[in-house]
Homo-oligomer: A and B are copies of this chain.
Amino acid sequence: MKPHKIWIDEIHGGSRYGLKGTILIKKRSPFQEITIMETENHGNALMLDGCWMTSDKEEKYYHECLVHPALSSLKTASRVLIIGGGDGGTARECLKYSDISLIDLVEIDKEVIELAKKYLKELGQNAWEDKRLKINICNGLKWVSNTQNNYYDVVFIDCSDPSEISNEIYSLKFYEECKRITKKEGIVATQSESPESFPAIHIEIIKSFKQIFKISSTMYSFVPFYPSGIWSWTFGSEDSTQFLNPQYKHIDSIENSCDIWNLNYQKGAFQMMPNKILNKLKKI
């Protein structure tokens, strides 16, 4: 018998985005409700607590834009921290850089990783078998507070939308901690939500980064899968010499490996702040 196809929707402020398919797994971990669906047209898709997180078809829009602006702009990077990122997509993109010797992936919910390994193979691909990737099941705040100064080249904050389990990550104090554990010439990179669906949080993140880092910048691009389709990533650094300028020696091969990102795309994306957000920031 054919499995029964249903719609699952993410509902957000009077709008909903739904995918059709069959549920592969739906379970409650100690932290959240995890649903993975085999969809008609988007491959396998992951939902956490009612919010679509990623899908085979669209994940590159998100992961390429989080990783490559930071890593392509460092001549070399050895140690990387990923806070969240349990689906494996961010780690996969990081592993394209040959100088990387350690990726600490710090995920609070081990069930996400286990289910991603099983049902979202397109996301992590071979990353899970790579010896440079170290999985740490741990609260991200705790991990960061236990890390020595200037340890990582890049810290990626790859977490879900603000909620009970992630609220503390969206704070000035946490970003300051991330800066502390990042090398002076390194970069802290975070997804910074949608200016349409979460304008207040979006602006708050930008303000915090401007306050903490000598230089910071926000890029806008598409995540067809998220409410409103428009998404943002914000980057901060103390060292302007390497910040968001291409430095990595094999950058051509990174470009060739990407579905969405290239250097030109990135340059454009950093100019795409909607006028209304620009005006709001001017008033602050």
Chain A positions within 8 Å of B, measured between CB atoms, are: 7, 9, 13-21, 39-42, 58, 61, 196-197, 220-224, 226-230, 255, 258-262, 264-265, 267-276, 278
Contact = CB atoms under 8 A, between A and B. Distances in A.
A107 B226 CA distance: 33
7 contacts: A9-B18, A14-B21, A15-B20, A196-B222, A197-B224, A258-B275, A267-B268
A70 B143 CA distance: 51
A21 B18 CA distance: 17
In the complex, the count of this chain's copies comes to 2
Contact of A14 (B14, B41, B227, B268): B41
B278 A274 contact: no
Contact of A230 (B40, B229, B255, B267): B229
Contacts of A262: 275, 278
Nearest to A16: B18
B13 A15 contact: no
A163 B10 CA distance: 29
Given A14-B40, A222-B230, 15 more contacts: A14-B21, A15-B18, A16-B18, A16-B19, A17-B18, A222-B229, A229-B230, A259-B276, A260-B274, A260-B276, A262-B278, A265-B274, A268-B269, A268-B271, A269-B271
